Structure 1
Amino acid sequence: MKKNINAIGLDVEKSTALAAGLNDLLANYQLFYQNLRGFHWNIKGEKFFELHLKFEEFYNDVILKVDEIAERILTLGSTPLHTFSDYLAKSEIREEKNLSDSASTVESTLNSFKVLIVKERAMLSNAQQFGDEGTATLMSDYISQQEKTVWMLSAYQNR
């Protein structure tokens, strides 16, 4: 086998670049996950019951994606980030502290989805360009699911 081809048949340099992008995505997902947990725990007001359940649904989905992204990084031959200091340094999504009302928690969630979708589109493009069907499929699945979620959250906000 060629020296510059990894175990799954992709160019090593391209795989390393894809893994770096996935690590960036992983950091953002980790901050999003923690924010969603906080929203779930701390939501107050007339929308409590529906948002308490919705945030739990979201964080359960996000934690599965965290694992999928980390495993894809490993599949590409790299090491996933695994410390919160790395996540905090790398993530565009910032920590949310003491948000407990429906308007601000939903707005933060929508903003986070926007960050993720933009990053996923870039990853999808790079993965397609580099012939990485596995990463491309993962990103495509995430994008289509999250676009629907954004539509629904936007409708919930009556935008």
Structure 2
Amino acid sequence: MPKASSIAQAKADKRAGKSASTQAGHFVRDEIEAVRHGKHGVRSAKQAIAIGLSEARRAGVDLPPKAGSKSATAKSAAKPTAKSASEKAPRRPSSESTAKRRSAAIKALKRESTAGASPQALSAQAKRAASKRTAADRSAAAEKAARTKGAAGRSEAAQKAARTRAANKRADKMPR
């Protein structure tokens, strides 16, 4: 269940005209925090991100459906010549209850490690994701980020970078 604060932040981002991925970021961050606090584990950083995106979709963030999902293929397969709902054979109810399936999924997640949400795992995942994009695409994204940040945001980011450089310089001078 996503936090109420994440839903509120996502709604505020939507009103501000920010992208769906920015809105979903709040849910992904919550999921990573849940894993780090030991609520449950994940096999990889990718799985933690996927769970966060899934929660964002359920909360109403307008993200595209995940690749290869039923909803993605159903939309492309929908044709006007298809049989109507009344002509189709009735679906047989599942022998398993939804609650049973949900509790089994949670049990499986609890058995997993929390290493998938470590800073190292997330860094490696970010690098893998970035390496799949072209240099031009990454550059265009950075330019857009600088444009949309605004003057005050750029100034704040520059000050933070200067503080970080100064802190790193001090750390390098310290004896080990």
- Structure showing the higher helix proportion among its residues: 1
Indicate the structure whose relative CO is greater, using CA pairs within 8 Å and at least 6 residues apart: 1
The TM-score normalised by the length of structure 1 is: 0.30
The TM-score normalised by the length of structure 2 is: 0.28
Task: Work out which of the two has the higher radius of gyration on C-alpha atoms and give 1 or 2.
Answer: 2
